[in-house]
Amino acid sequence: MSETIQIKTLTPLWTGDIDGKCSRIKETGVIGSLRWWYEELMKASGEDICNPTADNSEERCDKENGDICQVCRLFGCTGQKKKFGLRISGDFTDSTFVKYHYPNRPNKESNWYLKPGKLSTNHSIFELWDIFENYDNIGLIISLFGFLSENAGIGAKTQFGYGIIEPTVIDYELELLKRRLGEIKENKKIFFLKLNFDISETAMSEIFDETRNWGVCKSNGYLPTSPYFRYLLRESLREKSDINKSQRHNLMGKLNSTNSNLKVSHIYKNKKDSWEMRVWGNVPPANSDIRVWIKTLKDITFWEDKTVTELKVKENPKFKWLEEVLE
């Protein structure tokens, strides 16, 4: 069985090369992000999932004994082939290089830049097929794809705004993923947030001194705002006396590091032609102060207090825990 998905990128896609660039969209990078999500979802539903990169062989699946976890069964591990193939074809074009300068900040933290990822043209195709004829996993992968296109992102650097896609030709049944996952046992751990904005013509120049190339992004249907909102969220955490530095780093990563449990998309134009942004993340269950903070994000006043008036949040954000998304 094989299926073809046609996609439109809403923000640039990123899969990294060895030299830190994104010369093309690599299948391995996309599969890596699908695997990461499948692991998280499976763990949330109470499955015992291995750690395929662990040094300690005890933590990895043991092919010899036939002891293979649900993720390795689908995505493969040493000695075990993955059950599906993916080929990405069609045209992508480079997104523009973006440089930021935050006003009123010390020099070392004031400059940011976003490297060019890839934007789809009209014919960006993801083709999926079953490698073993007696398995039918394509529906499940497409279901996962659909779930991520609605709620999160794909590829790498999603914490920095990359990877929001919209399938233009795809028939996915969320039911297939729901059935595989069953009941979510780790309740209130993974959350998804969507905000809608009214954006004035001058919004970008109000936020940043450096406004070069913003027009190009806007004409491509997105505003490269992820670093700005990450900064606002980080500052908000810093102001909370009950949240310490290590808790903040756990959620947001250290400044300029790539590790972050909280992902913030750029602002992009959604299907309804409205400016939208996604925030999603993993909240450690034991971390009650962070959980209290996360709840404040549901309220429009949190955002109104922080954003400039030219970048106006329209209504209370839509907030869902994983189990509500899969309801």
Window 233-262: contact mask with Zn ion (x via CB under 5 A): ------------------------------
Which span sits near Zn ion by CB under 5 A: 3-11, 49-57, 142-150, 288-296?
49-57
Taking the alpha carbons of 210, 216, 218, 222 in that order, is the dihedral positive or negative? Answer: negative
**DSSP type of residue 58:** G
Q: Is 50 in the site for Zn ion (CB under 5 A)?
A: yes
Instruction: Name the minimum Å distance from CB 196 to Zn ion.
Output: 39
Size of the site for Zn ion (CB under 5 A): 4
Task: Using CB under 5 A, pick the residue from 10, 61, 193, 195 that binds Zn ion.
Answer: 61
Which span sits near Zn ion by CB under 5 A: 50-58, 78-86, 139-147, 158-166?
50-58
Is the CB of 31 or the CB of 207 nearer to Zn ion? 31
Is the CB of 50 or the CB of 141 nearer to Zn ion? 50
**DSSP type of residue 57:** G
Is the CB of 7 or the CB of 69 nearer to Zn ion? 69
CB of 144 within 8 A of CB of 38? yes
List the beta bridge partners of residue 99: 113
CB of 193 within 8 A of CB of 229? no
DSSP codes, 156-208: S-GGGT---EEEEE----HHHHHHHH-S--STT-EEEEEEEEEE-TTHHHHH-
Which span sits near Zn ion by CB under 5 A: 70-78, 92-100, 164-172, 216-224?
70-78
The tokens describing 155, both together, are 């590829």
Contact residues for Zn ion (CB under 5 A)? 50, 61, 69, 72
